[in-house]
Amino acid sequence: MLRKHRLNLLVLTLASISSYAPHAAADSIVGARLLGTGGVTQLEGAAGGGLTPWALIAGLGSENEIGGSAFCTRVWPQDFMLTSCGAAVGFFNRVEVSYARQQFELGTTVPGKNIKLDIVGAKVRIIGDAVFSTDEWLPQIAIGAQYKHNRDYEFVPKLLGAKDDSSTDFYLAATKAWLDGPLSRTVLINATLRATKANQLGLLGFGGDSKDGYSLAPELSTAIFVTDTLIAGAEYRYKPDNLSVFEEDDFADAFIGYLPHKSIALVLAYADLGTLADKRQQHGAYLSVQAAF
């Protein structure tokens, strides 16, 4: 079910998110992709923004190379803490495989305890090109899947009414960047449609007493380069609401971006996560570090 939770965030960010610099073509080198075309890493391990996977393939490898990335992200809502670390490998700018481990500290809800979630992902670029040109207007389109296993299902999720400890999300993503967009700035737009049974990404299990089937959930991202190295943007992620015990809200974030080096990404954003477990209005800082090759 798509609900009312709306984005009303202030940008507090230093980030290197995965857009395309206005001088990207000049920064390309033989045997490597354009600057930024591998994205940063989202919470579940796929190349993209912070909250949602994009159609981009991880790493900096060209069509004849293998590339990859490694990341760690931490989010500090008021009453909890979420840490996600992992790595992704991109094969020939066509196929991506990824792994992430999430650890959700339960704070005052269950002091001293945490929930761990393993995520194995795969993505395939099927058509199009992310960079707009007169010869290629079609966005880059990719299909992906994320298998998720909750290692602490019996501890909390099952008690809350979750039906399964594991499930697979499926998604279709489309990404397009205009190198000479409004005000002669680079603009990137991404739309992702996800089929999922996950409760709070899977941290509270999968399916529930309210709904046990798949839900279709849109995810949207946009970014614009303010200068050659600074960007601003936002993301919005709709989420299902399967458990009657707690309402589940949508996720959103807002950011400014900075790319210190083509192989290094630093993300400091402000994220609004809505209701998490028994706590409402959970929002706070989002910090991520990524290295790519």
**Beta-carbon contacts of residue 223 (< 8 Å; ≥ 6 apart):** 17, 18, 19, 49, 187, 188, 231, 232, 233, 255, 257
At 18 the pLDDT is 37
Reported as a single tens digit per residue, the pLDDT across 66-83 is: 999 999 999 999 899 999
Please give the Cα distance from 92 to 38 (Å, whole number). 12
Q: How confident is the model at residue 17 (pLDDT cuts 50, 70, 90)?
A: very low
State pTM to two decimals: 0.86
CA distance 120 to 117: 10
Q: Quote the tokens at residue 278.
A: 């028994």
For the chain, which residues make up each domain, given as ranges?
14-292
The confidence band for 243, taking pLDDT boundaries of 50, 70 and 90, is very high
Lowest mean pLDDT among 85-99, 102-116, 217-231: 217-231
> What pLDDT is attached to residue 1?
42
**H/E segment holding residue 24:** helix 24-27
* Class for the domain spanning 14-292: mainly beta
pLDDT at residue 2 greater than cutoff 70: no
DSSP structural state of residue 225: E
Distance CA 162, CA 139 (A): 37
Query: CB-based contacts of 214: which residues, under 8 Å, 6+ apart?
Result: 195, 196, 197
Residues 121-170: tens digit of each pLDDT: 999 999 998 888 777 789 999 999 999 999 999 989 999 999 999 999 99
For residue 32, is pLDDT > 90? no
pLDDT for 39 equals: 65
**Mean confidence (pLDDT) of the chain:** 85
Residue 13 has a pLDDT of 32
- pLDDT of 9 reads 36
Which pLDDT score is estimated for 4?
A: 38
What is the structure's pLDDT at 150? 98
| Length in residues, the chain | 293
DSSP 94-155: TEEEEEEEEEEE-TTTSTT-EEEEEEEEEEEEEE--SB-BTTB-SPEEEEEEEEEEETTTTT
